[in-house]
Amino acid sequence: MRGCRAPPLPLLVLAALPALSLAGAARRSGGSRSASQVCVEKSLIFRSNTPYSTDIVSDPDGQDPLFCVQLDDSKLNYFQQPQDVKESDFAEFLEKYGRHSFLAPSQVQPSFSAFYRAGDPILIYFDSSSVLSMLRQPIKMGASGLCVDGNPAGFLDSKSTTCTRIFANLSKSCTTDPALDAASYYRDFTVLKVPINDTVMPSMKVNVTAVSPLGAPHMKDNTCMNVVSEVIYEIEYSGTSGIQSVSVQFKVSNISVNSRSSLQQRFTMHFWTRTLSHMLPRSGNPGYISGAPLLIANSGAKQHMSILRSESDGSCSQFLRHTVQFGRNMRTGCKISLSPLLEDSNCSYIQQKLYKAFQGMNRAEDFAVTGSAHSTQAEEWMTILIENCSAEAVNCTSCCMVPVTLEIQILWTKVGLLSNPQAQVVGTRHFYHCQPLKFLDMSMVPVTTIVTFTDTTDWPEAPRGQPQMHWKLPFDIFFPFKISLICRRHLKMLCRAALSPLVRSPGWCFVSPPHVTAAISRLYLPCQRLRNESIRCWSNIPFITVPLSRAHGKSFAHRSELKHAKRIVVKLGSAVVTRGDECGLALGRLASIVEQVSMLQNQGREMMIVTSGAVAFGKQRLRHEILLSQSVRQALHSGQSQLKDMAIPVLEARACAAAGQSGLMALYEAMFTQYSICAAQILVTNLDFHDEQKRRNLNGTLHELLRMNIVPIINTNDAVVPPPEPNSDLQGVISVKDNDSLAARLAVEMKTDLLIVLSDVEGLFDSPPGSDDAKLIDIFYPGDQQSVTFGTKSRVGMGGMEAKVKAALWALQGGTSVVIANGTHPKISGHVITDIVEGKKVGTFFSEVKPAGPTVEQQAEMSRAGGRTLAALQPEQRAEIIYRLADLLTDQREEILLANKKDLEEAENKGRLALPLLKRLSLSTSKLNSLAIGLRQIAASSQDSVGRVIRRTRIAKDLDLEQVTVPIGVLLVIFESRPDCLPQVSALAIASGNGLLLKGGKEAAHSNQILHHLTQEALSIHGVRDAVQLVNTREEVEDLCRLDKLIDLIIPRGSSQLVRNIQKAAKGIPVMGHSEGICHVYVDTDASVEKVTRIIRDSKCEYPAACNALETLLIHRDLLRTPLFDQIIDMLRVEQVKIHAGPKFASYLTFSPSEVKSLRIEYGDLECCIEVVDSVQEAVEHIHKYGSSHTDVIITENEKTAEFFLQHVDSACVFWNASTRFSDGYRFGLGAEVGISTSRIHARGPVGIEGLLTTKWLLRGDNHVVSDFSEHGSMKYLHESLPLPQRNAN
């Protein structure tokens, strides 16, 4: 026994650890390690993230160095972190300062609103009776599963419960029992945003909205009709703001009256948030570390949060501030003089000065969720909530309330793997305590800043008698022998039970049902017995409830349907589970797979794993045993190179499987335990499927495990595998020869919805991967085997791709959908399983339904071929196509408008489009006429676009170089709610000779279809119909953006969110466009009264939904309170434009409009922001800071000022005394545009034909070689510029 002396531990018995897990102390004494250290061989450490002191110690015996951890905490509480203010110190602070926020007694103010913690009951309020109660989620009780209605719904506890109601007199209960009436679940009460104990204010109430209101239950004949059978609450929450919205939807059924009338009801709580998607538990993402600066964003710039700091005389420093450190509660005080400010009696001015003093030089807008947040990633930042003096001013309308205390309240939590948690901030609020100005000493006002961090982590309750889930060794060590032995040593803690009936006991349960002893080797369940006699496994992962129900019998036809899969089998190939050296397991990859399976299991799905790896794991273990079995003399006198080269006998596979099976399962148990999920091992052979009784036992066992929310882990019993059985595939039943066939057999036997086969290749290729022209097959159909050439097997494992395809087709025939994907790629293995279930284009999807048209890959290839033919046409022929399309737009006007009417009616009925988008969706006769005119302009101006010589150079005699324009290639244009975009972009692509892929929004499906049909009709006159393709398949935009080998340029046309999403999703494909259109108009002091109102009205009101509409109006300060300013305000009021005041503009007004939340808002409606600037220089700086480089305008009669503005504003379009709406390809004379680009490369501003062209170089020589131009060569470079050929005057 090689043991290391250490203090006795209450949680783990270190003396029970195996030989390989701890370094020897008895025979390795004399080193530099202290007795209070625990050491392991460094080569065994997979990941170390301990908060304790560590050391790497040389071993006296010359073997591997040791990794040692200083054990200064007997409990080894893994999550304990040093805090400036500990829980035990709270009583002292409360006694000293009076309350938890550390305010002095003289500064005590009414307490701020509370917030829900995870698991808290959700409060509801009945207005009619003024009764405060709790939202209920009934659960079942007892063996019969009767409903218990008193169970409260827990905040953030997304889950589903089912129970049964039995009616003695259904005729009476039908109309009197509120549990059967949908109205009782939403009509008479409201939900409180946050828990409160005093007066319920209207602003704290959230109405419960019924998605589809139902009528009351009623008797008809002998049946109770319209009875609620399922209730689904969708609850939106947001940080410290609490619950934001609540909706409920129902499913109903009918009950017949009989002696045992009963109803099974299902209740689901689903919590979601718009801003916390990044909070899903993921390992490897660093959170905040105690003492690290808290990150905030000011106008997009990342900086540290800071608070006031006092000078030596007690006054507030104007330059120095304290940095807020994560986890450190702080309180600072200083004095500030208000006397100089009293010269301006404006209360708002004094307030703003004090706010600015509290916040620093600049106003913080957002805070970082983690300490590694990137300033360009919006999803990693959240808005700071601010409650200022305006709330307290309601009670004293004549008072000037000014801030004297700023309390920064920060809520944080730990999420992720229990073995490797991360600290994330979930909400931050600036809470100002205010006092009337008249009660303050103006000479020196004391101000206070308080920072409080509140840990909202809600650890799950551990099973009775067990250690807390988060008590761990101070390092992560994935070494399964240790875990396996610990389990054996603690068998006295385990209870034996049979699955049917199941005898449960608190603590760990050892389950070994007699009828499947041969099938199940070992099952450990960290479970607890509940009152309702059901097994509950504890989890700290938020549940995501999804509707998962599907009648088995037919596989899914499309990838998008995979999200409905409830029962899923994940097959892990040997190449996925094992390391590259085939000796040992790929622990990091395996941990990531377990994490994904756990997340899907906690969503309510039923997950099963078919795994390989026992042989590789056993091979590693046996090799260690062979090395350790050497004598000490051999180990000391053998050099390191000799050890490496030492011949190890060939290990028999069955022996390796026997040695590795228990360790492999122990490893799975350890990993799944991190998510508090139970796992069970089942070993099978082919003979188990031939014996009908064994098949039934296996089927029953698996169903019982799935019912108890346990993940079965299945493997072939390679330790006792018999000789191969006669192939029974010809009888219609696949034989189990490897884990591929085992997974397929189990998938069909268990009627699973989805089988995911992970291998070491991206999927199925039409020829061996790595060979020339090998293409990944996105969707594979039965009967396509003849078009595939199979290669060799993977480096390990029994089967190959041919075996996988055979198994997949057999499973598909049995009604199970199959996806084969890569589980080893480091960039995708961390989310490959969840991506597949979400319907993303990963791997090869096996489907029985062939699409009616070509795949998007085929469309892209057709578009490229058609584009090359198009570019080879004469300019007159391309122009003829565009003229024909223009004629079709007017000739087929009625059919186009009829299709557009269908789109508008569907959008209005579904209510899924906002008014600005509805306007963009609408087509009219005038729009079609304008389109036709624009297309004719394109045709007229495109005669010499392609192949135009833009540079000619004579390199040397008879060696001439030309630079000519050529098409870019294949364009992908993604647009939403704008069917008029389709003919515009098509005409530009035709004129420039580019192939075109179009992806329109489904809201314009009918309009896009007919417009594309007309486009192809026009292209057909010269045989290039395929050059323009409309993607009608269920392709996600993210999947299209991955086709970097087929698409050359992406042009998004739509909302700023669409453009940002595409820019983020595009991998290796350039994106041309703008994400926002924040256009400014600056009114100078020398502006003409007549021009100002006309230009502003046209810029804002002519088409407010356009990207070139005015969003921010900048006005020179000298124009305030002048007739011109009044005319501007009156005009905007008449046009019903909602005005938002910028910070500086609001400071000049006693009663200002609503202050703008951000100066970077694109309203897209009759709204705009007004801000004040002191000069044209400040206007330029404002535009550079808050603008989007789209279009900006100056209105002035001063030519010098105008030229300064035109030269210094760095935007795509800069105008003088002209409306922003002129920023348009048609108005520029380009005929049309594919979009407006704000980038600085290739094209900028409205992009017409020129922006869709690139160049190539043509060199014409006569037996020229570079060596002739050397120092002693016969030729010299001339580099003469030659005249360009004359352009076509037409």
The confidence score (pLDDT) of residue 201 equals 76
Query: How far, in Å, are 417, 588, 600 from residue 414 at the CA level?
Result: 9, 22, 21
The confidence score (pLDDT) of residue 118 equals 67
DSSP label of 112: P
Q: pLDDT, tens digit, for every residue of 718-759?
A: 777 655 444 444 334 444 556 788 888 888 888 899 999 998
Whether the pLDDT of residue 765 is over 90: the answer is no
Kindly report which listed range (26-40, 543-557, 908-922, 1011-1025) carries the lowest average pLDDT score: 26-40
Q: pLDDT, tens digit, for every residue of 228-252?
A: 999 999 998 775 567 889 999 999 9
Q: Which two tokens stand for residue 1230?
A: 């380009």
395 or 298: which leads in pLDDT? 298
Kindly report which listed range (454-463, 1124-1133, 1257-1266) carries the lowest average pLDDT score: 454-463
What is the pLDDT confidence band of residue 568, given thresholds at 50, 70 and 90? very high
470 or 584: which leads in pLDDT? 584
Query: Which residues 6+ apart lie within 8 Å of 462 measured at CB?
Result: 468, 469, 538
Query: Which residues 6+ apart lie within 8 Å of 616 measured at CB?
Result: 574, 577, 578, 579, 582, 583, 584, 585, 656, 660, 796
User: How many Å apart are CA 665 and CA 681, to the nearest integer?
Assistant: 7
Strand partners, 451: 330, 408
Whether the pLDDT of residue 580 is over 60: the answer is yes
The confidence score (pLDDT) of residue 608 equals 95
Mean pLDDT of 970-984: 88
Kindly report which listed range (293-307, 474-488, 1037-1051) carries the lowest average pLDDT score: 474-488
**Whether the Cβ atoms of residue 524 and residue 669 lie closer than 8 Å to each other:** yes
Q: Which residue has the tokens 């090395």?
A: 627
What is the pLDDT confidence band of residue 39, given thresholds at 50, 70 and 90? low
**Whether the Cβ atoms of residue 244 and residue 206 lie closer than 8 Å to each other:** yes
349 or 1009: which leads in pLDDT? 1009
Q: What 3-state DSSP class applies to 1?
A: coil
The confidence score (pLDDT) of residue 553 equals 61
The confidence score (pLDDT) of residue 894 equals 92
The confidence score (pLDDT) of residue 129 equals 76
Whether the pLDDT of residue 939 is over 50: the answer is yes
Whether the pLDDT of residue 1201 is over 70: the answer is yes
Mean pLDDT of 432-451: 82
Q: Model-level pTM? A: 0.52
Query: Which residues 6+ apart lie within 8 Å of 950 measured at CB?
Result: 963, 964, 965, 1255, 1284
Strand partners, 205: 192
The confidence score (pLDDT) of residue 1054 equals 73
The confidence score (pLDDT) of residue 158 equals 82
Whether the pLDDT of residue 149 is over 50: the answer is yes
Whether the pLDDT of residue 854 is over 90: the answer is no
Q: pLDDT, tens digit, for every residue of 254-264?
A: 998 886 788 99
User: How many Å apart are CA 328 and CA 306, to the nearest integer?
Assistant: 13
The confidence score (pLDDT) of residue 522 equals 29
What is the pLDDT confidence band of residue 989, given thresholds at 50, 70 and 90? very high
Q: What is the mean pLDDT of the chain?
A: 75
Q: Which two tokens stand for residue 96?
A: 């000293």
The confidence score (pLDDT) of residue 937 equals 86
Question: How much of the chain exceeds pLDDT 70, in percent?
Answer: 73
User: How many Å apart are CA 1214 and CA 1193, to the nearest integer?
Assistant: 6
The confidence score (pLDDT) of residue 416 equals 56
The confidence score (pLDDT) of residue 848 equals 84
User: How many Å apart are CA 65 and CA 43, to the nearest integer?
Assistant: 8
What is the pLDDT confidence band of residue 1110, given thresholds at 50, 70 and 90? very high
Whether the pLDDT of residue 409 is over 60: the answer is yes
Q: pLDDT, tens digit, for every residue of 494-544?
A: 222 222 222 333 232 333 333 333 322 322 233 333 333 322 222 222 222
**Whether the Cβ atoms of residue 1072 and residue 1245 lie closer than 8 Å to each other:** no
The confidence score (pLDDT) of residue 533 equals 32
**Whether the Cβ atoms of residue 467 and residue 77 lie closer than 8 Å to each other:** no
Kindly report which listed range (169-173, 597-601, 1051-1055) carries the lowest average pLDDT score: 1051-1055
What is the pLDDT confidence band of residue 889, given thresholds at 50, 70 and 90? very high
User: How many Å apart are CA 1145 and CA 1115, to the nearest integer?
Assistant: 9
User: How many Å apart are CA 34 and CA 266, to the nearest integer?
Assistant: 59
Whether the pLDDT of residue 1290 is over 50: the answer is no
| CA-based nearest residue to 1187, from 1092, 1075, 1084 | 1075
- Work out the number of other CB atoms within 10 angstroms of the CB of residue 464: 10
Whether the pLDDT of residue 786 is over 60: the answer is no
The confidence score (pLDDT) of residue 1177 equals 95
**Range among 14-28, 129-143, 1081-1095, 1239-1253 with highest mean pLDDT value:** 1081-1095
The confidence score (pLDDT) of residue 198 equals 59
What radius of gyration do the chain's Cα atoms show?
A: 36
